[in-house]
């Protein structure tokens, strides 16, 4: 199986990697194009993270509806309802499998999400 790496990063990782029919999207954080953390609480940060996720699989020929699994880390469990309200609009039909955990994150953010997309090579 051949791996393809997509995008560039200032850290030692690829934003997205295709391995056969799967695209693995690295954990995305709520930063804008300038690398600044988005303000506005967990709802605003979740929206930005999911926008960043939508951009990552596009590099590998995928769209958000190709996402089959997400893993979510929340800084505070009490933010779950607000997080979920922001998450749901991105996956209206056939939402992906999901794991969500409270976690101490590596930078001062409220949410991080990684994803796996399935897009068969033709």
0.75 exceeded by pTM: yes
Give the right CATH number for 3-118 from 3.40.1260.10, 3.40.50.980, 3.40.470.10, 3.30.1330.40: 3.30.1330.40
- Where along the chain do its domains lie? 3-118
Torsion of CA 96, 97, 100, 105, to 10 degrees: -60
* DSSP-assigned states of every residue in 56-112: HHHTTT--GGGEEEEEEEES-GGGHHHHHHHHGGGG-SSPPEEEEEE---SSS-SEE
Digit-coded pLDDT (tens) for 36-88: 999 999 999 999 999 999 987 676 788 999 999 999 999 999 999 999 999 99
């Amino acid at each position: 199986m051949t791996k393809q790496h997509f995008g560039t990063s200032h850290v030692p990782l690829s934003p997205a990697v295709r391995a056969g029919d799967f695209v693995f999207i690295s954990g995305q954080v709520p930063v804008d194009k300038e690398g600044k953390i988005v303000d506005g609480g967990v709802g605003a940060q979740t929206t930005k993270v999911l926008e960043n996720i939508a951009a990552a699989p596009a590099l590998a020929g995928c769209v958000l509806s190709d996402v089959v699994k997400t893993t979510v880390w929340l800084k505070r469990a009490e933010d779950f309802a607000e997080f979920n309200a922001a998450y749901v609009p991105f996956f209206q039909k056939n939402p992906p499998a999901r794991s969500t955990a409270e976690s101490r994150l590596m930078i001062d953010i409220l949410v991080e999400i990684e994803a796996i997309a399935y897009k068969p090579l033709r």
